[in-house]
Each structure stands twice: as structure tokens, then as C-alpha cells.
Structure 1
Amino acid sequence: MLLMTETLARGAPAAATRPGTAAPREAPAGATPRWLRRGGRATVPLLPVLVFLGLWQLAAVSGLWNEIFVPYPATVWRAAVDASTTHDGVRGYQGHLLWEHLYMTLRRVTAGVVIGVAVGVALGLAMGTVGWLRRILEPWLTFLRALPPLAYLFLLVIWLGIDEAPKIALLALAALPAAAVATTAAVLAAPVGLIEAARALGATRAQVIRDVVVPSALPETFTGVRLAVGIAYSSVVAAELFNGLPGIGGMVKDASNYNNTPVVLVGIVAIGLSGLVIDALLRAAERRAVPWRGNL
């Protein structure tokens, strides 16, 4: 009796556990709920989408806005199906299927990003290792970063025409500053101790850059590449303002001329979803190329 009283005074549970049975374990603070562990992880990201669609449907049904401004989700879905198929003798949108528009946009973005990132990373590496070059080029990069793509699109059209060249050039110019600035900062942040140790062991300047500076700068460089791709992809509608069909940006621009809001929304969703896929691929490439990130 005395032992039971002491146990209760210490805050032990009143209910005794039967012999041979394990005491119920309480979930630790911050633990993942059981329903989430049973497959809810795949559905949780869909919850905001479902909530958004529900609010969108309510806004369309309410009649507060004209359907030109807030079309029904079903209307946008039909526009996506029509843009992806041949119906009533009409092939997709303006004679091209949705995947063809997306393919042309991705081809332009890929060409522009490859050029812009390659030049930007090379410039960043040079600026990070050569002080006088950094002092000369840094103001120009800052100037270019401050310019919106539309500011120099018309100049590129005057110089290069309305074919593919101005589109790719605009996307390259949009991607270049982010890659250059991130690479420069990553090179400047290379561990001084490792650099001095490599020099003490007799490494040349080229060997120090190759074996110490570049590996330590790779993680932040990949971050700059992801930013560059995002900036270039967000500029694709501007790049395809002129002669942008086929292309998602050209499709959006053409549909906006006729207040075709469903097709505009289809283009926006296509750009956003493909951007998510591209970013996921870049993350996977980063994990393979820089497996030591976060482990140092």
C-alpha cells in the first residue's frame, strides 16, 4: 500500500500494466502522425491543390466575376484537352498540339540556359580568382541583373530579327548574371585553410583551382544554376512575344489577344508544371554531382 502511494505521488499512471504486456508508448514530440506514415505523404501535397480548386470553383459559381476573368475549372480542362488533341478538324491550338508548344519552349530555354550558364560559370570562376577582373565586370553584371527582359528584347529583335536568335539570346542574358554571381561568391568562399595547405604541399595555381576551389564551389554553383534556370524560364513569355508560335509563351500571348482566358491558364499551368520537373531534375543532378553537400 505504501509502495502504491509513493508511485502515485511520483506521477506514475494509475492503471497498472498486466504482466507480459508492453506499456503503451507515447509518440515523441514532433513525430509524424500515423495517418501520414500510412501513405499520406503522397497526398499531403495535393491538399492545397484541392483547396485551391474548390475556392476557384466557388468563385466561378458565385457570379461575382465574368467568366472571361474567372472561367470554370472544367472550362480550363476542356481547353487543355482541345489544345492536346485534334477536334472538329482543328489540330491543337493554332495548328500545334500542346506538347509541341511545350517542346519548342523547352528547346529554346535549354539552348539559352546552356549558353548563359556556361558563360556565367566561366566568368564567375575567373572573377572569383582574379581580383582586377572582378572589379571590372561586377558593375556590368549588376547592371544586367537590374534590367527586365523586355527592356532589351526589342533591341535584340532589331539586331537579330524575329527568328530564334533573339529568343535564345534573351534567355541566355537572363540566365548569365545569376550563374556568374553565384559562382563568384562560391569561389571567394573557398576555405582559405585548404588553399594554403595545398600551396604548402607544392600545388600550382591551376591545381589549387581544380582540386580545392572548384569542388568547394560546386554546391553554391549548382544553386546559382537553379536560379539561372528559373529566371530564364520565367522570361520565356517575353522571349516568345515575337513569332513565338509554336511555343507556350507564344500560345499565351496569342490567346490573350482574344481574351481566351482558359488557354492562357493552360499555358501558365504547363509552364509551372514543367518548371517543377526541371527543378527536380536539377536537384537530382546536384545530389549525384555534389554528394558531399551538407556533410562537411
Structure 2
Amino acid sequence: MQNKKDFNKNHRMLTLLTWAFIFLVWFIITRFNLVSHLIVPSPGEVIQTFIAIVKDGYNGISLWEHLGISMLRLLIASALAIVTAVPLGLFSGYFSKVGAVVDSIVQFYRPLPPLAYYVVLILWLGIGESSKVTLLYLAAFAPIYIACVAAVANIRVEYLLSAKSLGASGKDLFFQIVFPACLPDIFTSIRTAVGVAYTTLVSAEMIAATSGLGWMVIDASRYLKSSVIFVGIIIMGITGVLIDQGLKALEKKIVFWKGYQ
């Protein structure tokens, strides 16, 4: 049977080969002009554009400022979603009356496209940072909340009954049994929520924004600057992967018992 070390090595090799194949296809398409460069720029053009943006910025704003602004919006919204959705989700799953109040509201707005209610947020909060952060917050809130409710429902009843038989109070049950048992699902939902919020970032920066990675991509699309679009997409993809890997590392450190409960 293949051991874990060999499995991880093979997994990494397959990943590298996959991306090598993607870049090879990209190079062939642009090298032989199978598609217009206005639609698909060559790898060389994208690299040159990246170097130019790093040196001179885009629209008078440095690349790091665009990246920093987007990451700040994402960080604030995700942090707010975590500190509100986790307790509300756990309480809704544990206390049916709380669920009766909160659940229908979340289920109502969850399927709505972000741009549908973004217009309303702008009317209420203006075109500044508040409406953008709120949009990202709402996008991140629902996945965490729903996962927390489901995680509570999936806790084995024997755990709760055993704790009660040993004299555990309601507070002890929640903090010593419910919360630890839900942590693996909470971290998984946070990773999902950050990804959803990141995809919503483009929508948030489409309207009345002058900075951010999403805005940079949208602005470049208006002038058919495909190499800038590719630079923005690649940066967002790489930062998204780095954020997810960071969350996985944090999960491994905190939820060390995952897979063994």
C-alpha cells in the first residue's frame, strides 16, 4: 500500500504536470496565432505587463496598493462574517428558537445574486467602503452560518447524553462538546466563505471604485487590455491559493483531532 509520503509526492508531481500542460497549451495557442492576442495575450506579454505594473502601477496607483486595498476589504468582511456567523449558526443549530428567527432571513438572501442587492446597499450606505465591505460580508456570512447549523445537527447524540449523565451543564455542553465538535466544519466553511467573498470582490469593485484588483480587471476590460486582465486574474488566483493554504495550516494546528473524533 502506498504510504502518505509517496502519495503526497505523486500528488505534487501531478499538480506540476497539470500546470505545465496548461502553460504549454497557452504558449502554443499564442505562438501560432490560433487566437487573437486581443483575446489571449502571450505569456511573454503578460510577464512584461506585470513588470510594467510593478514598476509604474496602474492608473497612477501601485500594484501593491491595489492588492492591499482588495485584501483589506476581504479581510474586514471575512473577519466580521466569522465573528457573527459562527455564534449565530451554532446558536441556531443548538437553540431552535434562535434558528426560527435567523434561518429564514439567511435562506432568503443567500440565493440572490450579489449585484441584485448591491444597488440597495449603495442607496443605503453610499458608494464608499461601507457598501463594498457589507456586500463581501453578506457573501461570506451565509456559507459559514449554514455550515455551523448543519455541524450542530450532525453531532452524535451519545456525546451530549453522556455529558449530561456526568452532570455537565448547558454551558459546559455547548463549549466543551458542541463547539469543539463543530470546529472542523467551521474551518471548512470559512475557507469556502473567503473564496465566495473573493469572487464577489469583483462585483464590489465594479461600481464607483477607483482601486483594487477587481477594479483593475474591470477597467482593463473596457479598453481591451487583455494582458492587464490576465495579470489581475493570475494575481487573484495566486493570492486566493495562498489564503486558502494559510487557513488550512491554521486549521491543522487548531483542529489537530480532525479525522479522529
Compute the TM-score of the two structures, normalised by the length of structure 2: 0.93
Alpha-carbon deviation of 1:104? 0.9
Match of 2:88 among 123, 136, 157: 123
Alpha-carbon deviation of 1:214? 0.6
Report the counterpart of residue 103 of structure 2 in structure 1.
138
Q: Deviations over 1:100-152 (max 9, x none)?
A: 21111110000001111221112101101111322332222122220121111
* Change beyond 3 A, Cα 1:290–1:32: closer
Contact 1:243/1:250, CA 8 A, preserved across alignment = no
Report the counterpart of residue 69 of structure 1 in structure 2.
39
Flag the structure with higher helix content.
2
| Alignment of structure 1 residues 84-99 onto 2, 5 Å | 84-85=54-55, 91-99=56-64
Q: Deviations over 1:213-248 (max 9, x none)?
A: 111111111111111111101111011112433210
Match of 2:218 among 253, 261, 271: 253
* Change beyond 3 A, Cα 1:125–1:42: closer
Distance (Å, rounded) in 2 between the aligned partners of 1:144 and 1:222 = 23
Report the counterpart of residue 159 of structure 2 in structure 1.
194
Alpha-carbon deviation of 1:42? 5.5
Asked if 1:78 is matched to 2:48, the reply is yes
Distance (Å, rounded) in 1 between the aligned partners of 2:121 and 2:232 = 25
* Change beyond 3 A, Cα 1:134–1:41: closer
RMSD of equivalent CA atoms:
2.1
* AA in 2 matched with 1:79: T
Contact 1:117/1:228, CA 8 A, preserved across alignment = no
Q: Between Structure 1 and Structure 2, how many residues are aligned? A: 261
Compute the TM-score of the two structures, normalised by the length of structure 1: 0.83
| Alignment of structure 1 residues 142-181 onto 2, 5 Å | 142-181=107-146
* AA in 1 matched with 2:104: P
Contact 1:101/1:245, CA 8 A, preserved across alignment = no
Q: Which blocks of at least 5 consecutive residues in structure 1 are unaligned?
A: 1-28, 86-90
Secondary structure at the counterpart of residue 162 of structure 1:
coil
Report the counterpart of residue 213 of structure 1 in structure 2.
178
Contact 1:244/1:251, CA 8 A, preserved across alignment = no
* Change beyond 3 A, Cα 1:50–1:152: same
Report the counterpart of residue 16 of structure 1 in structure 2.
none
Secondary structure at the counterpart of residue 256 of structure 2:
coil
Distance (Å, rounded) in 2 between the aligned partners of 1:130 and 1:162 = 38
Distance (Å, rounded) in 2 between the aligned partners of 1:269 and 1:126 = 39
Q: Deviations over 1:159-194 (max 9, x none)?
A: 111111111000000000000000111112222112
Secondary structure at the counterpart of residue 221 of structure 1:
helix
Alpha-carbon deviation of 1:284? 0.7
Contact 1:256/1:264, CA 8 A, preserved across alignment = yes
Distance (Å, rounded) in 2 between the aligned partners of 1:127 and 1:248 = 36
Q: Identity, % of aligned pairs?
A: 34
Q: Deviations over 1:57-115 (max 9, x none)?
A: 21123333221111111111111111111xxxxx2111122222111111000000111
Distance (Å, rounded) in 1 between the aligned partners of 2:242 and 2:256 = 21
Q: Which blocks of at least 5 consecutive residues in structure 2 are unaligned?
A: none
Match of 2:203 among 216, 219, 238: 238
Alpha-carbon deviation of 1:199? 1.3
Distance (Å, rounded) in 2 between the aligned partners of 1:119 and 1:113 = 10
Distance (Å, rounded) in 1 between the aligned partners of 2:152 and 2:14 = 39
Report the counterpart of residue 54 of structure 1 in structure 2.
24
Mark the structure with the bigger radius of gyration: 1
Higher relative contact order (CA 8 A, sep 6+): 2
